[in-house]
Amino acid sequence: MYDFLEGPNHPSRLHVRDVDQSSAVLEWDEPSSLGGRREVWYEWECSRGDCTNIVATPADKKLMSRTLRLSGLKPDTEYSFNIFAKNSVSKFTDTPAYRVVDLRTAPLTRYVVSGLRVESEQKDGITLAWLSPAVSKKVKYEIEMESKIGKPVIAATEHTYHTSLNMSPGIPYRFRVRVNVDGWGEWSDPLWYEIGRGIVQQHQGPETTPLGSLPGWVVLMAMVLFVLLLGFLVILCRRKTHNRKQMSDLDVLDTYKQDTMTPDYSSGNRQFTDAFRSGKLTEFMSNGSLDHLLRGKDARGEEMSWPRIVDMLRGIASGMKYLTDKGYVHRDLAARNVLVDSELTCKIADFGLSRGVDDSAEQEYTTNGGKIPVRWTSPEAITHRKFTAASDVWSFGVLVWEVCSFGERPYWDWTNQKVISEIMLGYRLPAPMDCPVALHRLMLWCWRLDRHERPTFAQILAILEKYARNPDLIYVDNAAFITGRLATSTANLPTGSPGGPMIPNVHPSALPTLSEFLRSLNLSHCIEKLNKEGIFTVTDLARRSHLDMLAIGLISEEFQRIRSALAQLQDARGMSRAAETTTTLPLRSATIRPSRHDDGFFV
């Protein structure tokens, strides 16, 4: 009898499938126990954050599906949501069964539209134009038009211009534009426009109340009150003056007269024609150099997320692409020459060694002498002293290694001669501790001995843009993706690679069924997704790569669990696996970081 008076357990595997600046998608699985009944539904509740304007899809109070989309969230805000599992007898239980999930919406991006202007005028409208942000991909814009007689109207476009029509004369309109680059940025400064008058001031817009629009009796009443207040103040001041004592009634006052007067010699005598030393005004970067920031965070035990590191590298690549397009070779690109502001935006500095290249096809600069930073310089620049954009790409690869190792000195305590000889023999820096495999692939591509085989900064920027849009890709060991030739098939990937398939070399009858295999990993909820993609056996599952699993809808954690189980299955069945050779970095805490001015830094 009591079995039928029991509510279901809490939902299982509640997680956030997707989240952006204003919305989030929650998913969960069916409770492990339904309380002896067949029916079950779900309800949600916002328990933390600004919950006033949240809109749920589906909007039913009783949810029959296990997916919930919540919109109307505020950017960069923490929320907590409770998901309840209920049935017909849940109201008789004392404590409802629910699970809590915490999330934080994405912040507004740093991209803001600038240069908003009126390009042309029509009879009942205008054409606006603005400057596009410095990114190498398509972006979207939203244009907001607002007046005091109606609700705001928002239009979308992919161009840097837009025509707004059906504007009424005599009414000021406010226009604002924002851009979507991996998320929406803030609105631009408003532009006010009125048909027949042109651009008007902000105080004449719909958010202010002009004096002429007030009723006449209100203006008259305000003037009367002002006159009465002014008269009261005049009478009060005159009474105070009238009540003061006469000078004859005052006590005799002692007076003080200074006996001597000290001449005031001008401290600026004969100095007005001195020349002031000229200076240079630069932007203040509160976090200093990039290597100083990374080493400080490492010493304090502070962590930085890999998406944040990728975003910083993307900014550096964007700056180097700009310099390369302008015909400049930096020659000293390193973490010490990158400055970081309070928002962790990286900007390239220290152009003491930079040179403009000629207009030849090779676009190279040849130096006749001087010291060069060997650990960051490409082999052809060391041996032949020829600097090109490709030599800056080599330096960028070393910079990526510095960032991923949190400020380690490249090649540790090796001498410059050993660094040069080992590089010419084919040695390359190993992946730093916990470094994503795709970032190390990018470093190795930048360190190709033939400079014509290295990527351009445009290609590097495009790759980092992909990683910023999908951070899971940085954990994929797929060299074809790094070089911009990502294939849909994974047949050419080596067996057992981190991103490739791991195919068991045993008879299919000796393997467990797909259902048994996933149930042992508590991944039964993935069976339906896999079957829809034609995966019915463990062998089919093992043939799929990390990218295939992400495309199907699995998350990286689920793929890692499947891959680990396949590896254990191979070991248990006596399958042969290729041993992977790895290089161990020195312990970060035990590494001695010499000063940048130590002997052997330049040759």
- From residue 261, give the alpha-carbon distance in Å to each of 254, 258, 351: 20, 7, 57
CB 559: neighbour CB atoms within 10 A? 21
* Contacts for 81 with CB less than 8 Å, ≥ 6 apart: 26, 44, 45, 46, 47, 70, 100, 101, 103
CB neighbour class for 343 (10 Å; exposed up to 12, middle 13-18, buried from 19): exposed
Orientation angle between helical segments 457-469 and 306-325, nearest 10 degrees: 150
- From residue 399, give the alpha-carbon distance in Å to each of 217, 477, 506: 72, 21, 45
Q: What pLDDT score does 359 carry?
A: 47
Q: 3-state class of 164 per DSSP? A: strand
Q: Which strands, in side-by-side order, build the sheet including 23-29?
A: 12-19, 23-29, 67-71, 55-57
- Please check the confidence at residue 498 and state whether its pLDDT lies above 80: no
DSSP code of 146? E
How far apart are alpha carbons 345 and 348 in whole angstroms? 10
Greatest Cα-to-Cα distance within the chain, rounded to the nearest angstrom:
124
| Mean pLDDT confidence for 295-314 | 92
Q: Range with the lowest mean pLDDT among 123-132, 192-201, 441-450, 578-587? A: 578-587
Q: What pLDDT score does 268 carry?
A: 54
Q: How many helices (H) and strands (E) does the chain have?
A: 14, 21
Maximum mean pLDDT: which of 246-255, 363-372, 405-414, 507-516: 405-414
How far apart are alpha carbons 599 and 438 in whole angstroms? 34
Q: 3-state class of 537 per DSSP? A: coil
Give pLDDT tens digits for 551-600. 787 876 787 788 888 877 776 655 434 333 333 333 333 333 333 333 33
Q: What pLDDT score does 232 carry?
A: 87
Q: What pLDDT score does 53 carry?
A: 86
Q: What pLDDT score does 267 carry?
A: 54
Q: What pLDDT score does 129 carry?
A: 92
Q: Of the candidates 287, 295, 290, which has an alpha carbon nearest to the alpha carbon of residue 406?
A: 295
Q: Range with the lowest mean pLDDT among 282-286, 302-306, 472-476, 598-602? A: 598-602
Q: How confident is the model at residue 370 (pLDDT cuts 50, 70, 90)?
A: low
Single-letter code of the amino acid located at 294: L
CA 65 to chain centre: 32
DSSP code of 557? H
State the residue for tokens 């629009």: 213
Q: What pLDDT score does 447 carry?
A: 96
- From residue 589, give the alpha-carbon distance in Å to each of 196, 336, 382, 489: 70, 20, 31, 42
Phi-psi region of 45 (alpha: psi -120 to 50; beta: other; left: phi over 0): beta
How far apart are alpha carbons 56 and 25 in whole angstroms? 10
Residue with the larger pLDDT of the pair 1 and 34: 34
How far apart are alpha carbons 353 and 373 in whole angstroms? 10
| Mean pLDDT confidence for 366-390 | 82
Tell me the percentage of the chain whose pLDDT exceeds 70.
Answer: 76
How far apart are alpha carbons 318 and 591 in whole angstroms? 31
| Mean pLDDT confidence for 124-135 | 88
Q: What pLDDT score does 491 carry?
A: 33
Residue with the larger pLDDT of the pair 403 and 284: 403
Maximum mean pLDDT: which of 73-87, 182-196, 396-410, 520-534: 396-410
CB neighbour class for 256 (10 Å; exposed up to 12, middle 13-18, buried from 19): exposed
pTM reported for the whole predicted model:
0.40
Tokens coding 512 = 């467990």
Orientation angle between helical segments 389-404 and 437-446, nearest 10 degrees: 150
- Are 547 and 499 in contact by the 8 Å Cβ rule? The answer is yes
Q: Write down all domains in the chain, each with its CATH number in brackets.
A: 15-105 (2.60.40.10), 114-199 (2.60.40.10), 288-481 (1.10.510.10), 514-566 (1.10.150)
- Are 506 and 498 in contact by the 8 Å Cβ rule? The answer is no
State the residue for tokens 């299955």: 569
b/e string for 383-397 if b means 16 or more Cβ within 10 A?
eeebbbbbbbbbbbb
Residue with the larger pLDDT of the pair 204 and 598: 204
Q: What pLDDT score does 587 carry?
A: 34
How far apart are alpha carbons 349 and 326 in whole angstroms? 16
Q: What pLDDT score does 345 carry?
A: 92
- Are 501 and 539 in contact by the 8 Å Cβ rule? The answer is no
Query: 83 has which bridge partners?
Result: 44, 99
CB 91: neighbour CB atoms within 10 A? 9
Q: How confident is the model at residue 544 (pLDDT cuts 50, 70, 90)?
A: confident
Which phi and psi (to 5°) does residue 375 adopt?
A: -65, -20
Q: Range with the lowest mean pLDDT among 36-50, 266-280, 462-476? A: 266-280
| Mean pLDDT confidence for 38-64 | 88
Q: What pLDDT score does 550 carry?
A: 73
| Mean pLDDT confidence for 270-287 | 71
Q: How confident is the model at residue 495 (pLDDT cuts 50, 70, 90)?
A: very low
Residue with the larger pLDDT of the pair 386 and 47: 47
- Are 395 and 319 in contact by the 8 Å Cβ rule? The answer is no
Give pLDDT tens digits for 331-366. 889 999 999 999 899 999 887 665 555 444 444 555
- Say if strands 97-104 and 114-121 run parallel, antiparallel, or are unpaired: unpaired
Single-letter code of the amino acid located at 578: A
Positions marked catalytic: 332
Average pLDDT, the chain: 79
Orientation angle between helical segments 290-300 and 389-404, nearest 10 degrees: 20
State the residue for tokens 């190993």: 430
Instruction: Please say whether the dihedral angle defined by the alpha carbons of residues 304, 310, 311 and 313, taken in this order, is positive or negative.
Output: positive
